[in-house]
C-alpha cells in the first residue's frame, strides 16, 4: 500500500481564527488567560462556531476536488490544545468541510508546521505567525476582518498584487528610493529581464496546475493580477509571467487608481496585497489578505 502524500496537491494551511469566528473565546484568552480560555471552550464545546473571514474561500477551495481527483488539501493549524480544539473540529464536521489533518500546538506558534506539511499558502489572524512563514519562503497572509458579502459565483476567483506578492520587491525598492520617473525608466530598461519570484509565485503556479487540467472556458479557477503599475512598466510583468509559463486570466494595470471597485467588479473571493492602503480599499469590497513582506513593511 502506497504511503499517503500531499506532493501532488495544492496544500492550504489555515488557522482556526481565520476559518471560524473565535472573537468571543479569543477575548477570554487575552483578558483572562489560558485556564479561563480552556474552561470557556469546553463549556461551549457543543455550540457551533460561526464562519470566519476565510470560511467561504475554504469552501470554494474544497469544492475544486472531484470524486476521481483531490486537487486541494486544507490543513488546520491551531494554537488550541487538542482538548480545546475539539470545538473547532465539531464545527468542521457540522459544516461538512473535508478537513482531516491538523496540528494543535497549545499556545506555541503554528508556523513551524507550514514547511512540514509543504503548504503552498498559510492564512492566519496572527501577523507574527504570518511573518515567520514568509521569512521561511512560503506564501502567507494575515486575513483582514471584513463585513462584505461573499462572491456567489461557482468558480474560485483569486486576485494578486504584483510587486512583493507575485514578484520580488526589487522594482518597488527603486520606486520608493528614486520616484516614479526612475521606476518607469528602470522597468523599461529591464523589460526583457524577468522579475524574481515573490512569496506567492508557487501558490499561483499551484493554481495554474489545476487550471491546466481543464479547458480554458471550463476552468473552476480564475486569477487576476491587480497592480498599481501602468505602461510602460506593464511589459516586464507580462514577460515575467510568460517566462514562468504561468497563466493569469485577467491583468489590471491601474496606474495608481483605487483597487477596491475593480476587485468588486472581478468578484474576487480573496485579494492579496502587501500595502495597507490597498488592503483598506479592497476590504470594503472583497475578502483580503495582507502580505507583510517587502520594503513597504520594513518601516
Catalytic residues, by residue number, are 161
Decide: helix, strand or coil at residue 210.
helix
| Whole-angstrom distance, CA of residue 53 vs CA of residue 55 | 6
Residue 29 C-beta-side C-alpha neighbours within 13 Å: 13
Burial 232-248 (b: 16+ CB within 10 A, else e): ebbebbebbbeebebbb
**Angle, to 10 degrees, between the axis of helix 86-94 and the axis of helix 34-43?**
40
Cβ count within 10 A of residue 140: 30
Nearest to 282 by CA among 179, 165, 138: 165
Residues in the chain: 299
| Whole-angstrom distance, CA of residue 263 vs CA of residue 265 | 5
Cβ count within 10 A of residue 209: 14
Decide: helix, strand or coil at residue 104.
strand
Decide: helix, strand or coil at residue 205.
helix
Nearest to 289 by CA among 14, 1, 75, 94: 14
Three cell numbers written together for 84? 480545546
| Whole-angstrom distance, CA of residue 110 vs CA of residue 81 | 12
**Strand-pair category, 288-290 with 140-144:** antiparallel
Amino acid at each position: 500500500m502506497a504511503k499517503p502524500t500531499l506532493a501532488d496537491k495544492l496544500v492550504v494551511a489555515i488557522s482556526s481564527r481565520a476559518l471560524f469566528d473565535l472573537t468571543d473565546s479569543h477575548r477570554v484568552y487575552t483578558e483572562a488567560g489560558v485556564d479561563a480560555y480552556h474552561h470557556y471552550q469546553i463549556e461551549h464545546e457543543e455550540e457551533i462556531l460561526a464562519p470566519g473571514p476565510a470560511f467561504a474561500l475554504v469552501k470554494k477551495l474544497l469544492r475544486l476536488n472531484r470524486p476521481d481527483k483531490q486537487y486541494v488539501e486544507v490543513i488546520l493549524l491551531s494554537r488550541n490544545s487538542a482538548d480545546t480544539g475539539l470545538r473547532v473540529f465539531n464545527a468542521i464536521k457540522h459544516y461538512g468541510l473535508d478537513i482531516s489533518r491538523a496540528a494543535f500546538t497549545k499556545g506555541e506558534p503554528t508556523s513551524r508546521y507550514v514547511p512540514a506539511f509543504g503548504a503552498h499558502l498559510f492564512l492566519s489572524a496572527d501577523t507574527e505567525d504570518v511573518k515567520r512563514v514568509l521569512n521561511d519562503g512560503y506564501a502567507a497572509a494575515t486575513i483582514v476582518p471584513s463585513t462584505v458579502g461573499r462572491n456567489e459565483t461557482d468558480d474560485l476567483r483569486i486576485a494578486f498584487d504584483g510587486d512583493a506578492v507575485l514578484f520580488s520587491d526589487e522594482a518597488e525598492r527603486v520606486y520608493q528610493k528614486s520616484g516614479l520617473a526612475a521606476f518607469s525608466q528602470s522597468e523599461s530598461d529591464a523589460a526583457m529581464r524577468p522579475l524574481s519570484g515573490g512569496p506567492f509565485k508557487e501558490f499561483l503556479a499551484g493554481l495554474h496546475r489545476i487550471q491546466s487540467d481543464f479547458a480554458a472556458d471550463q476552468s473552476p479557477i480564475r486569477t487576476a493580477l491587480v497592480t498599481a503599475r501602468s505602461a510602460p512598466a506593464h511589459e516586464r510583468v507580462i514577460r515575467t509571467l510568460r517566462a514562468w509559463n504561468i497563466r493569469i486570466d485577467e491583468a489590471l494595470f491601474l496606474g495608481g487608481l483605487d483597487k477596491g471597485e475593480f476587485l468588486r467588479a472581478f468578484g474576487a473571493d480573496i485579494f492579496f496585497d502587501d500595502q495597507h492602503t490597498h488592503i483598506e480599499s479592497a476590504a470594503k469590497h472583497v475578502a483580503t489578505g495582507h502580505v507583510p513582506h517587502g520594503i513597504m513593511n520594513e518601516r
